[in-house]
Structures are given as structure tokens and as C-alpha cells.
Chain A
Amino acid sequence: MTKNILLAGFGGQGILFSGKFLAYEGLMEGKELSWLPSYGPEMRGGTANCSVILSDEPVGSPIVTNPDILIAMNLPSLDKYENAAAIGAHILVDSSLIERKVMRDDVDAHYIPATRLAADNEMSGLANMIMIGYMIRKTGIIPYDNVAKTMEKVVPAKKQNLLELNKKAVELGYNYK
């Protein structure tokens, strides 16, 4: 089975980091995978996106054009990628930054006010990981039990003080009703 995941939003929202989290999770499960960031000026503002492919087979093209899972963290990203999502895809929307609803009816749309939740819980900057937690709940592509171990691997040694907060952010998203 192959899952094509596209994460998209503003530069600075931690899009690449949340993609990295998924990639490390795949690595720890012994999956085939690829992680491809957009690079260049968009990293310093403007739209940023990240293609992650998790698969049981060797990965062909690392570029996700028709995502099975789309995480949209700003309106331009939803506008740009909504129609590209595969039929039956999960589209996860940060509803505190995107006012409109998903317009397609052949996909599973999910809404979570991740950025507001992050601010309310003194986790500013961690809306990305709240989205990941929520995505794990809605799609089941990753066993929730693996989160803590993967996080220990993906949070760099110099930033270990942020480890617990990242875990909490995933937990918050996972438990969001």
C-alpha cells in the first residue's frame, strides 16, 4: 500500500518539520519512503509544501501530485490542492485560518482550529503537530503508540526542551472532538 501525503501552508508554520515527523515514523516502521520539500524563497514566507510518500514498495516519483491525505494550513494551499486530491482522499483543514469549507463531495473533509488551539494551550508554533495528531486519528495511517518514540528521534538533540510540548500537541490534536 502507498500513501501519498501533501502538507501545505505558509513558510514558518512547521510544514517541513511535520513532514519530517511522518518520514521518521515510516523509517522506524521499516517502510519505503520519500520526503521532498519545496525549497527556495518560499521557505522565508509565502507558501511552503512538503511531499511525503510512505509505502510497502520502493517509491517511484517523490512528487505528490494527487494526495491521499492533504493537510492544508492556509487558504492558498487549499485553493491550490483541493482539486488535485485523489477521490476518497482525506483533506484536513486548519479551520482557524481557513474560513471556507472543502467544496468537493467525493473526499473526506475534516476541520480543526489548530492554530487557535495552539494559542489557547500555550503551544504557539505547534499547530502543525496538532494537525498531525488529528490526522493520525482520522486516517489511522500511523499507530498512535509510535508517536512518542518517533518524536524522540525527530526532535534534534539541541531542542530536547521542546520534546514534551511536541508530544502534547500531537495528543491534543488526536483527542480533538
Chain B
Amino acid sequence: MKIKFYLVIFFIVSTSLTAQVTLDFSGYLYDVPTFYFKPASADFFGLEDNENIYPMNLTRLRLRPTLNFSENSRITMQYEANLLFSKMPIPLVEGTGMTNRQALDLHWRFYNKNNFTAQHFIDILYYKHIFDFAEVVFGRQVISWGVGRIWQPTDLFNPINPANFSKLEKDGADAFSAKFFISDFTDFELVCNFRENQKDYNYGARFRTNFSEYDVSAMAGYFDRKVIVGGDFTGNFFNAGLRGEGIFSYDPDSPDSNYVRAILGLDYQFTSELYGLIEYQFNGRGTACKDCYDFDRLKRGEIQNVGLNYVTVQSNYQIHPLVTINAGAMLNINDLSGYFNAGVTYSIFESLNLSLGGMYFIGSEKDEFWYYPSAVYLSGQWFY
């Protein structure tokens, strides 16, 4: 599979060499020293030491070259090298390695000892060609379906756990996608997501349009050997943004595992400085039974949450054109665990941001968020 992938990319590059190729290059350097506090679940994880604070530092170098063969044809890559120092023994909040939407392992770990891990990987590598009537993309790509700000039930390719504050981008999915333009605001997209074994391939289709000042879409597919149908909408409710999204998952071999997942959200710009949003999620894939929480799938990044009902509120306030504070909270409505998050971001220079923030988790024994360690972090991001 890897050889075929590289051959395709090589073929594309070599046949395009006669074109006038231009290179765009950008990226960033990101560092986030974090201090995790000993969680209430310390005994559960066997943390018998006397440590109360577990330091971690993640340094990420992200390179984003784009080779433009023409206005309508390009190869885009995002490569990352990162160095992780972690004395945090609980692996709940950092996911690395190949995901379940990737066929090729383009991830290499070249050092892993003494609390240090150094690795690099290709997160995105795709060829895109735009025709008058369609665009096709082949390779590891971001497929952004869904309209939710925190949860996206229809995003079956690259979801991010909202509790993972150091993750800035969605993981790429190995796929071939074709989007057909029906009108300026109507398109139809087909996706085939490759896996290592052909029988594990995932397939999806989405129809998107704009109707009566609402963006609406309907999707269907075959993901993880289940039939999925769903859709979303987003528009204005008076001057507020209103969005809703949902899927129904059907497994013909195991009807008991069928579920519905849906979100409903509102957001509003109250003043020129203050923005707020509220979002509710019904996660039919989850459970209200604390002993039944599926943390294995959560750790692998296959799901975002393990519980049934959630609500979150988030806000931003610009206290100065260069300084924004954010604050929010998330609650698992069934077990009443959750977290508070707060932070401040300062734009020191045009290309350099500094942030200070924290997440404080609350919950009783075996509640979903009881397992998570609270943390404070400082991050710097330099763009070039």
C-alpha cells in the first residue's frame, strides 16, 4: 500500500514538472509546558509515588510546504516533528501514532527513553486538482464535515477530543475524495477512506446546499462496518448563530449497538468584544453506566466522549486588541462530572502568540472526568 501511494505521488509530481511550479512554505513552532496535578483517580492508575505535580513539555515543529503546479493543481504537505518530555503516567490526553482512518504508517518514533519521546510524522500529504465541475483530492487529507463548534457527529474522519488542549489540527485521513459542484452553494462529495485492509475501508457521501439562509447537508456512509446516515444545518436565529447536527448509526449484525448522536448549539456576539456559545450533545453511543465507559476507544481517538448527555458553554472576551481571555465549562449531565477551562492569549508580535491557561476537572469516583488530571499550561506559538 505504501509503495502504491508513493508511486502515485511520484507520477503526479513528475508529470507536472513541465508546469511552472511555485512553492509556498509556512509553518509554526509550538511549545507547551504543562503541569498536571495528581488526579483524584491516582489510586486507580496506581500512582503510588509522592508526586503531586507531573510536568510535561511538548515541542512541535510543523512544516507546511505546498507545491503549486497551477492555480488548480497542487500538492500539500504538513510534516511535524515533536519532542515530548512527560512524567505524566496517565495516557488520556495525548494521542500519537497511526489513527483508525489511516492506511499508511507515516509516523516514526526515533527516541523513547527516560521520559523523552521524539517522533516525526506526515500528518497531511495530498494532491488536489480542481476542475470546472469538481475537485478531486488523493492522499492524507482533512475532511471537515459537520458544523458543531465543540462536537461534530457527522465528522467521522477526524474528530478531536475537546479536552485535548494541545491538539491544534485534525489528523489527516487517507482517502480519495471527489466533490462535484452543482451550483455556487451546492455540492456533492464522495469519499473513500483507505485502511490497511480493504475490508476495513470506509465510504461516505455528503450533499450540501444553502436553503433559506441556512446551510444544510445530508450525509450517508459505511464507517467501521456500520451504516451511518445523518445531516446538519447552520444559520441565523435572529442575530444568533444556530446549528444542529446528527447521525444514526446502524449495524445490521448487531441492532443493539445502533445509536443516535446529535448536537444543538447557539452562538452570539454580544458586544464587539464579547462572544459566547452554548452547545448540547446527545451521545447515543455512550452510556450513563459509569462502569461501562469505553476508555479504550477514547484513548485511541475513535470517540470524543464516553457518556450520554453533555452541555458546554464557552466565551471569549477581547480585553485589548492583542489580548483575549477565554473561559468555559463542560458538563457530563448524567454523572455530573466536567471541567472548567480558562485562558488568556497575548499576541506579542504579529507572528508570535503566548497563552496561559488551565483546565480543572471535577467528578466523583469513576465519573468520566474523574479520570482526567487538572492542568495548567503555558504555550507559545511562532508562525513563519
Genuine A/B complex: no
A residues near B (Cβ < 8 Å) are none
